[in-house]
Structure formats: structure tokens, C-alpha cells
Amino acid sequence: MERFLVTVSLGPVQSLIGAARRTRDLWCGSWLLSETARAAARVLHKAQPGCLIFPCPEFPDTDLAPQDRPTDSANIANILRAEVELATAQDARALCERARNAAVDRLVELSEKARRRLDTPIREEVWWAQIGDILETFSAWISLTECGDGYTEAGRKLGEALAARKATRDFRACQSLSGTDAALPKSSLDGALETVLPKSIGNGFRRRLRLSNGEQLDALGVVKRLAGDAEQFTSYMRIAADPWVERLNDDQRRRLNAAWEPLVGLDLTTRTKGNEGVYNALPYDGSLLYGFRLRNALAQADLSDDERRNLEGLHKCIGEITQEKSTVGRAADAPVPYVAVLKADGDHIGRLLGCAANADQSREISRALHAFASRVRKIIREHRGHAVYTGGDDVLALLPLKSALDCAKTLAVAFKEALGEVAEAMHVPVAERPTLSAGLGIGHVMEPMASLRDRAERAEKRAKGDAAQNPSNALAILLGIRSGAELDWRAQWSDQDAFDALHRFIGAYRAHAQELSRRTAYDVRAIDRRLAWLREDNSDHARGMREAEVNRILERARLPGSERRIPGDLQNLIREHARTSPLRQLADTLIIARWLAARTAGDVGERS
């Protein structure tokens, strides 16, 4: 018998997770990928109990059991590794093939459950052509015996073998469609595959799948819309509006819920019961809190009298509550229409895994990662957000602006604590121990989900930086303002001065503080544009001109609705940043701080 390291990789991540237009698409895709990985890992575990390295659950018989719907547990990552004893390499191939088949069978099983919920015929030929081709699997194995029992070297060669296998494409002939199915519209999620929906779709069917006019879905898109329990998924509009909902009094919440509930029976909205009941104050998808969405709903020509009457009742109720919450001289107190998408990933994990001298040390790393991932959902929930994916060192979550910054910091601390003990036991130098880099992509709730997620990914890559000038272990924020501008901010977690300044600016913009004029940031930006010819000039003369211009606007600045000046400590902080960083960066920091402080649409300059 020989000892083998085997690995199985499942995907593609882009179509399973990335192709999403609604929050539910994102959640269901993450869950489907996790469930296929869970099924494959279960095969490896049953073949040789105790063989698993990644994942390495404490109770594999229960932790690897199929889940009928997304739960609060950590996701199973899409790359598996195990150490097994087998007679030949052919046995390793056969084991990987069984794991692959189990993953495919699980995806087909979930797809069939979703399909049975349809009450309208679909294009059968297209459905079966796509379902069997959704999952992409790669596997590799290597003999530890042939590597002289050198576990570290074997792990390196296994990674190279898997990369080579992924780069080797064994193209199969495309399964052609016959008749009218050969020229169908493409799916609206990613435009890759043909629709499985019939040409004529009833309004009830369209509402059930939450389809916009003209939207099409391929087989995977239908599964994402119908798999799992719809009420477990939290709309990102509900998350964005959460600070507004929290500020309602008991009577206002009672009235709002009473006006909203009839819309569920009419299939004009969905309930939100997941995330351990965090959003029970208003357990609905939240989109109709925004005037532009409610007006669009009312503008539909096919509404029945009952549907229109209930929508108008909700519209009236929201208007009354908004007016009650508004104060003299302020804009209508509508929910802030921006949301934060958090994407985080561990730093130096590959280096830590490379330090493992045997499978047991790799399992210790795996357990530490699983322990962190198991805490993530609770941490995000405590910050009023909802985690989408938590597998190992990967995190994807939706958060309200109010708590996004603090949540990212809490996750970074938790990750460092979770991996610190095992890294210390393996004598890894402090500077090379795992840390967490996080990106916050902030965007308008009317932006496509794919766009919001892309911004979060770019923010994460910016946080990762480069080893030379921008080391990792950082937070990066990308703010996409609906007018088209995108602003950025970045700092390492250890840069306490940068975070203290950002928190001070956020506090100054809070509605109860009103210590900083919104105009100040744009005045700083105007100076930067006016003195663009001096941006690269760091002479005393150029610095003096910039400082003089900043002092001029600070002298003239007054707080909103009064003749009071900006507090002295804030003036000094702005002057200090103007001396030590580019004015464009200072302006972006001030604007981002304003958005992170926002609670209402008026706080970000929008009118409802």
C-alpha cells in the first residue's frame, strides 16, 4: 500500500457564484458550490475515515451531511485535499472520480428539487443539455512514497499537478440543440447559455422567479431562483435600509408591517426570516422602502385592483412615517440607498501551508480556518449584515454602511487570533503569520449585483497590494457614487493614525454632530484640480501654496445652518493630512467618511 495525497477542485466559481443579478442568485450559487464540495468530501471521508485535510471538520459524519437549505455553518471550500492509503495510482484516480460523481449527483439532485417547484413547462432539451455540464471538476494525486515521504515537497508537486491539469483542456464536442432551440435568447445572469424558459410566461410565473420584463434564465439561473428557502435570503436593499428601520419606534414599525404583509400574499414582495431573525423588525425584502422601486411597482399596467390598493396603502404609510421622522429644515428622511459588499481573504496562507511538515500540521491549519469561518456569520450578524459565503479564509458579505468599517476590523482581529496559535506552534516568524486583507465595495442599491461584487473584489485586490510599496494586511474601500465617480481609500490595519482620522471624520458627519460641512471635501477637491500643475512638485513653495489654499477654505467654512466654524481639532486634522498626503486623497477620504456616516438619503445628497 502507498500513501497518496489527492486533491479535487470544483467550479466554475464565476457561473456558480459570480453570475448574479439578485441577492438570492449570489446566496444560492455559494450554497450550491458548497453542497457539491460537501458531497465530494463525504466520499473521501467514507473511503478512509480521518483522511481529510481540507476540509477537516470536527464531526465529519454530521458536518458533511447534505443540507436542504443554507444554514449558519461554515461553507465547504471548493478545493479538497486528503491523505489516503491505496494500492496504486489507478485507485487514486478511481477515488477522485467517485468524489466527482458524488458532486455532480448532488447538483443534479438539487436542480431537480428546484425544477419540481415550477408549474410551467420549460424547454426540456435545453435543460438537460445544460444541467449535466454545469459542474467543472479537476483532480490530481501524488505518491508520498515516491516523494521519499517528504510531505512538504509532495504538497508543492500536488499543487503544480493540479495547476497543470486545469491548464490542460480536453474539449468535448458541443451538444447541439435542434429546431427552434438552436437560436434562443441568452440568460440574463451572464449571457453565456440559452434560456430554458418558454416563449410565453405568465405574470404569476414571472413574479415567482422575480423576473424583470425581458429577463431570461438558463438552467442554473432557474435553480438559483428556486433552490433553498426563499425566506432565508436577505435582500441587499433590506440590509441597506436597516439603519432607517432601527430608528423607527414601535408604533411606526407596527403600522409599516401591517401595510406590508398583504403584499406577500399577492406575491409582490417576499419575507425575510433568515440570519437568526436579525431583521424581524421589518421581515420583508425592503425594496419597496425606496421611492423609486415603489413608484415602479405602482406603474405596472397589469396590477389588479387589490394589488394597486395595497401598494398605494404601503406608499401612504411610508410617506407618513417619513414625514414624522423628518425634522425642520432637513430633507425627507428616507433610507440611505447605498450598501457595502465585503470581500476578504487571508494573507500568507500559502506560506503557512508550505511550512507544514506533515498532514497533521496541515489539519491543524485547516481546523483553525474552519473555526474562523464558523465565527464569521455571527460576527457579521452582530454588525447587522448577512454573510453570503464563509469558507476557510474567504468571506463574502453584505453590510449596511453604518457598521461596515467596524465589521471589517473585527473580522481581521478574529482571523489573526484564529491562525496565530497554530502559526506560533509551527515557529512561523511574526512578520510572516497569516493576516486578513479586506475590501469594501460601496454602491447604490440600483446597481447590478455583479457590479457591486466586482467593486468589492477590486477593493480586496487593492487591499492585498504588493509586497514592495503596499503590503497586505490592509483594508481598502471603493465607493461608487451613482453619478459615476469612484473614490478609494486604503490603509494597513496597523496604521492607527489613518483609521483614527477616518473615524474622526465619520463622527463629524453624523447627523447628531454636524461638525463638518459637506462642502469642505469638494472645496479640497477643487483646490487639487486648480493646482494640478503642482501635484508632482514637493518643494517648500508648492507645499506652501497648497496649505494656504486649504487654510483659506477652513477659515471660510461654516457648519450647516449656522455661523459656527469647524471645530479646531478637525481643522488641525485636515491641515495635517493636507501636508502629508495628496489633496485628492484627502478629498476622497472626507467623501468616503460622509458616506460611511450616512443614515438617510439626505445624508448623501439624495432626495426621495
Q: Is residue 333 part of a domain?
A: no
| Per-residue pLDDT at 180 exceeds 60 | no
* Each residue's pLDDT tens digit, 440-467: 999 999 998 889 999 999 999 999 988 6
> First-to-last CA distance in the chain?
71
Measured at the alpha carbon of residue 453, what is the angle toward residues 245 and 72, in degrees to the nearest 5? 60
d(CA 79, CA 10): 6
My answer on whether 345 and 477 are in the same domain is: yes
Assess contact for 344 and 394: CB atoms under 8 A.
yes
Does residue 205 carry a pLDDT above 70?
yes
Which of 212, 214, 386 lies closest to 286 in space, CA to CA?
386
Residue 70 sits in the same domain as residue 30? yes
What residues contact 189, with CB distance under 8 A and at least 6 apart?
A: 19, 20, 21, 25, 217, 218, 220, 221, 224
224 belongs to a structural domain: yes
Tens digits of residue pLDDT in 271-315? 988 888 899 999 999 999 998 889 988 988 788 899 999 999 999
Q: Are residues 486 and 507 in the same domain?
A: no
- Output the pLDDT for position 203: 72
Query: Is residue 605 domain-shared with residue 511, that is, in the same domain?
Result: yes
Is 178 among the domain residues?
Answer: no
Mark whether 297 and 383 lie in a shared domain. Answer: no
pLDDT score at 436: 96
> pLDDT by residue (tens digit) across 114-131?
888 877 788 888 888 888
Residue 179 lies in a domain: no
Q: What confidence category does residue 179 fall into, taking pLDDT thresholds of 50, 70 and 90?
A: low
Q: Are residues 321 and 343 in the same domain?
A: no
* Pick from 92, 133, 103, 108: nearest CA to 38: 103
DSSP type of residue 357: -
Same-domain check for residues 561 and 599: yes
From the list 7, 54, 3, 79, the residue with the least C-alpha distance to 363 is: 54
When divided into structural domains, the chain yields a total of 4
Residue that finishes a domain, picked among 470, 492, 514: 492
- pLDDT beyond 80 at 602: yes
Q: What is the pLDDT of residues 331-353, one digit of tens each?
A: 457 899 999 999 999 999 988 99
Q: Considering the domain boundaries, does residue 331 fall inside one?
A: no
Q: Is the same domain home to 214 and 248?
A: no
Domain boundary among 325, 346, 375: 325
In the listed set 209, 230, 251, which residue is the last one of a domain according to the structure? 230
Confidence at residue 508, expressed as pLDDT on a 0 to 100 scale: 92
Helices within 53-195 (DSSP H only): 60-63, 89-115, 124-131, 151-167
Once rounded to an integer, what is the mean pLDDT over residues 41-64? 93
Q: Are residues 354 and 380 in the same domain?
A: yes
Domain range holding 121? 1-173+185-230
